[in-house]
Chains A and B, each alone.
Chain A
Amino acid sequence: MPDAAGPIGLPPRFAGQVGEVADWALSNIDDPIAPRLLEHVQLSVAPVLLGLAVALPLGVAAARWPRWYPAVLTGVNVLYALPSLALFFLLLPYTGFSPWTAIIPLALYTLAILVPNVVDGLDQVPDHVRQAATAMGFSPMRRLVRVELPVALPVIIAGLRVATVATISMVSVASLVGLGGLGQIILTDGFRRNFAAPVVVGVLLSVALAFLADGLLVLLQRWLTPWTRGRETGATSRSRRAARRDAPPTAPDTGSAAPPAAPAARGEDA
């Protein structure tokens, strides 16, 4: 079992290492930890926002014209398969060592997670809700913004959570190309000097950042969608719904359980 308890007393060597890590962290907070952390935040927030800005219209369009959805899906999945290292290097001649060199590829990766979630979220809006909105005189645009997107929000945010966590962990690769972020601590202060403390600090901070961002998004969702409180979360309702459909050709795992074929929809006669 993964949660099996470890040994109770820490071996002295390990305790010493903890001390070493703490020492290094305390004496390097101002430089390089704080600036690298800040860079890391910028390099993860920007791609997610950029990705969302692209994924929303793309997803809305794909939901409206389902014929194009498979093509869109294949496109974002091919992007997803590109090695990040290669993309960083390829952009270097154009964008240099500016943050854009990291932001653009990372934003492209988020599409593979965000687009399917936007489409699934919109597909999930019950027909009667859509019809009621139309019957009450909502224009299509207004209906989208005031009715459909809010109803799809839990699913969209579920995708946003996975995309954010994935991006935060991937920013470190950008450091291989010298683009900053916590990976820089791991590589320049740790790897090249054969010194473990900075690596541990970098990894821990990156993980902590991912969890913090995830927590913030959960809070954001609760605040934005008060009607879902006390019900099943968007993520699970999505996986339930998705469980009735076949998997699209190359959908990446979106964390909340991707589309599969589980038990037959009950009560539907052949």
Chain B
Amino acid sequence: MILDVLDWFTRSEQWTGSGGIPVRFGEHVLYSVLALVVSALIAVPVGLVTGHTGRGGFAAITVANVGRALPTIGVLTLVVLGMGLGLFPVEVALVALAVPPILVNTYEGVRGVDPLLRDAAQGMGMRGAQVLLRLELPLALPLILLGMRTAAIQVVSTATIAAYVGIGGLGRFIVDGQSRREIEMILGGSLLVVLLALVVTGLFALLRRLVVARGLRARPAATG
């Protein structure tokens, strides 16, 4: 079986044309990045504001929980029925999947900032937005990034559904492999998805190094 998969990977036709691995991989990355960016643009501001003000937090968490409970297939189907096949339904379904972890982690990250630090910031004369941007956001960043990474892995893994609405992506190999009864094709497509998930994990580790303040990273490990 491993040999079959290797064979599938090395077949020359896999690497060229509109149905080849590079194109499918590119589609998959494109759909995933788009969904993640849109989700972050929605979830991070909402999480920051609700976490900062403490108002609407319950509503935000409830929305996130509903989002978690939504069956992705159902969302996809509903939007397809409403708007037809294409990129839009896939993105809606993926965004519904990605918003909850980012939203919850952003909210928790801001709420989790030590009240003492908030008190110090206000006591020194920081205004609301300054407290949010100079204190709460940097401190919540590790948790926000973690939420985004979780969302990214879920999105990458779930973006295979794009194949069902006819816009390709790595899911194409899985679906085609099933209909053609070619196990090596399903395995090959899956391996590519896992590879992408690992790349995502690595990228987030890198991102964490770049954007998380040094004072937060290099801390002595707590005992326990």
> Which B residue's beta carbon lies closest to that of A248?
B146
The closest CB in chain B to the CB of A87 belongs to B190
**Closest partner residue, chain B, to A124 (CB atom):** B224
- B187's nearest neighbour on chain A, judged by CB, is A90
Kindly identify which residue among A92, A124, A169, A196 contacts B70, using a CB–CB cutoff of 8 Å.
A169
* Residues from 93 to 129 in B contacting A, C-beta threshold 8 Å: 101, 104-105, 108-109, 112-114, 116-117
Q: Are B71 and A183 in contact (CB under 8 A)?
A: yes
Among B65, B147, B219, the residue within 8 A (CB) of A258 is: B147
Known: A165-B65, A186-B74, A190-B77. 10 other contacts (CB 8 A): A78-B198, A84-B157, A90-B187, A123-B224, A169-B72, A182-B74, A183-B73, A200-B78, A207-B69, A260-B143
Interface with B: A54-62, A148-156, A216-224, A249-257, which one? A249-257
Q: Do residues B186 and A172 form an inter-chain contact, with CB atoms below 8 A?
A: no
User: Can you give 7 A-B contacts (C-beta < 8 A)?
Assistant: A169-B70, A210-B68, A249-B205, A258-B150, A260-B112, A261-B212, A262-B114
How many chain A residues have a CB neighbour from B under 8 Å? Answer: 75
B residues sitting closer than 8 Å to A (CB atoms) are 46, 56, 59-60, 63, 65-66, 68-75, 77-78, 80-82, 101, 104-105, 108-109, 112-114, 116-117, 139-140, 142-143, 146-147, 149-151, 153-154, 156-158, 160-161, 164, 170-171, 174-175, 177-178, 183, 186-187, 189-190, 193-194, 197-198, 201, 205, 212, 216-217, 219-222, 224
Query: CB within 8 Å of B: which residues of A?
Result: 1-3, 77-78, 80-87, 89-90, 92-93, 123-124, 162, 165-166, 168-173, 175-177, 182-183, 186-187, 190-191, 194-196, 199-200, 202-203, 206-207, 210-211, 214, 239-241, 243-247, 249-253, 255, 257-266, 268, 270
The one of B59, B109, B178 in contact with A260, judged by C-beta atoms closer than 8 angstroms, is B109
Contacts of B158 in A (CB 8 A): 83-84
A250:B68 contact, CB within 8 angstroms = no
Min distance, Cβ A239 to any Cβ of chain B, angstroms: 6
CB-CB under 8 A for A86 and B69, given A81-B153, A191-B80, A262-B142: no
Residue of chain B at shortest CB distance from A210: B69
Q: Once the chains bind, are B139 and A257 in contact (CB under 8 Å)?
A: no
On whether the beta carbons of B73 and A187 are closer than 8 Å, the reply is: yes
Q: How far is the CA of A206 from the CA of B59 in the complex (A)?
A: 20
State the CA gap A123–B221 with chains docked (Å): 14
Q: How far is the CA of A77 from the CA of B198 in the complex (A)?
A: 10
Given contact pairs A82-B190, A262-B112, A266-B114, A203 touches B174 in the complex (Cβ within 8 A) = no
CA of A268 to CA of B219, assembled, Å:
11
- Whether the Cβ atoms of A81 and B65 lie closer than 8 Å is no
Task: Give Cα A47–Cα B101 distance, bound, in whole angstroms.
Answer: 22
Q: How far is the CB of B162 from chain A (nearest CB, A)?
A: 11
Of B72, B112, B113, B177, which contacts A257 at CB under 8 A?
A: B112
Chain A residues with CB below 8 A from B219, complex form? 246, 261, 264
Does A253 contact B101, Cβ atoms closer than 8 Å?
A: yes
Is A83 within 8 A of B69, CB to CB?
no
A245 in contact with B221 (CB, 8 Å):
yes
A105 CB to nearest chain B CB (Å): 11
Name A89's contact: one of B151, B174, B194 (CB within 8 Å).
B174
